[in-house]
Chain A
Amino acid sequence: MDVLSQLQRQLADFLASLYREGFVDDQFTQLQKLQDESSPDFVMEVVSLFFEDCEKLVNNMAKVLEQQVVDFKQVDSHVHQLKGSSSSIGAARIRNVCIAFKTFCEAQNREGCLRCLQQVNHEHAQLKANLQSLFTLERQIVAAGGTVPAMQ
């Protein structure tokens, strides 16, 4: 098998595993389908935006949770934002943490919130690493003269 086919197979397998393990969901697939000649870097750009946003929200939430008296409404509003963003790009695991996170906010449970925050951080780092690998693979494929396949 030539280099290009190997790379493409690698990419397909990698994508399938990300999907299987719940890192990304169908929404992410849809985003990839949207990518074309007129916007070849769309997914990468919007994913970068998401990670920036995520970091900002996590920092804000950490500050609020550190306070003597925690304003859970504020935390909840941040979680809601994060939930929306992660849904939009198909970051399934992060979105799922947000669901649990919201429950703890409503219950005004600081410990529970802090745990979720930690989880968000963890998932953020993992997803970032995974998607970076994905984009690297895609670049290699394009460099080898191929086009990026979308996951079926």
Chain B
Amino acid sequence: MKDVPLSSMDGIDQKPSASRGSNLRGAPGFVLLVIDAGAGPFQELCRVVAEFRRDLHSSCCKVVWLDKPTSRSINLRSFEQDLIDPRDDILLKPFHGSRLYQVIQLLPEFGGHGLISISDRGSTIQDTGALKDPGSSSSTHPQSTRLKIPSTWENSFQQVDSQADGNSKNEKYRKNPLLDDPYHSHARSKSREPPAERLPVRSSEIQEVRGNVSKYKSLSGLKFLVADDNEISRIVSRHFLTGHGATVEVCENGEEAFQLVRMGLHNQREHSHSIVLPYDYILMDCEMPKMDGCEATRQIRKEEKFYGVHIPILAFSADNSGDEGLCKPEKKVVEPSTYKEASECGVAEGYGETLDLVTC
């Protein structure tokens, strides 16, 4: 097959879903190709795809063409459409939110029947208008692209479902292994690596279009690190965050927080693609023994420089004395709306920066 430079957008490679399928149980042979219709001369793309299909023999293969709304490579009722297999679909970019959701649902692992079209032949999936472009908010997270999927799907991606831990009725909080052994909790984060490439998707966008997402949780898919020397405070924070769908790790002081982040970043080296942040947010208590929140933040920022990443750190303090040498005080439990707003406006970045400015 002649090499065609198929472009990857936002970190998606044109990998057939068979390789994704190897992580999932008993998926039938089905290959899903998501191709940027503008990646090369369209006829050439079609030719390559046709060859690929011929070589597949028995497996099913479906193509989803992504086309740019403002400069279409595939014009309706023109010769390009004739080149496309009638079972293929055309989607308009950007490939996110409900569109991504619908494409994923084509996969047998997610209940799809493969060759069934997303839409009627000849029409394309339109922007509902309710979707927000994640481009602006995700631009502050250049390295942290991830697929935010409804929590029911998490098991397929081998994520540690710490919601199960947090909500276990028989769990005695004092004996929580994660509280006693913060390093053990880090080991679990390694197994969290999802196999597939990921896209910046806000679960809120999926919710707006697909009303049947079960139990919408505002912090779904987000990974938190809570650093707090107060046990009850840790328990409350953890419960609060997991109750809103997040995955939570805890630790007791700044030193542990720093080590967790350091190891989380260090273990990325094995992967050739962009860095997956070990945490989406860090909740940092200002006053802790061994190493306080401000010092820990300083250390974390130094470490992050090697990777060119930046994890938002939200500081809180039981002490609202307003000493300008301290971190910005927060309520002990921060509303989920704050996180959402924080992430969407980049304010979370601001919190991290404030911490840096005030103390470093």
* From A30, A45, A83, A85, contact of B333 by CB (8 A): A30
- CB <8 Å contact, B232 and A42: no
A27-B332, A30-B333, A31-B236 as given contacts; A88 in contact with B230, CB under 8 Å: yes
Asked whether A38 and B167 contact (CB < 8 A) given A81-B230, A88-B332, the answer is: yes
Q: Is the CB of A49 within 8 A of B167?
A: no
Q: Do the beta carbons of A53 and B239 come within 8 Å of each other? A: no
Q: Which residues of A contact B228 (CB under 8 A)?
A: 84
A36 within 8 A of B: yes
Say yes or no: is A124 at the interface (Cβ < 8 Å to chain B): no
Given A39-B169, A49-B232: A87 in contact with B239 (beta carbons within 8 A): no
**CB-contacts of B164-194 with A (<8 A):** 166-167, 169, 173-174
Interface contact B233-A85, CB-CB below 8 Å = yes
> A43-78 interface mask toward B, CB cutoff 8 Å, 1 = contact, 0 = none?
001100110010000000000000000000000000
- A31, A34, A36, A80: the one within 8 Å of B319 (CB): A80
Closest to B285 in A: A84
B38 interfacial contact with A, CB 8 Å: no
Cross-interface CB contact of A88 among B167, B174, B233, B319, cutoff 8 Å:
B233
> Are A85 and B232 also in contact (CB < 8 A) when A27-B333, A30-B333, A36-B243 are?
yes
Inter-chain contact B332/A87, CB cutoff 8 Å: yes
B67 within 8 A of A: no
Closest-CB distance, A15 to chain B (whole angstroms): 19
If A46-B236, A46-B239 are given as contacts, then 15 extra A-B residue pairs at C-beta distance below 8 Å, sorted by A number, are A27-B331, A27-B332, A30-B240, A34-B240, A39-B166, A39-B169, A39-B243, A49-B173, A49-B174, A80-B319, A83-B319, A84-B318, A87-B318, A88-B230, A89-B232
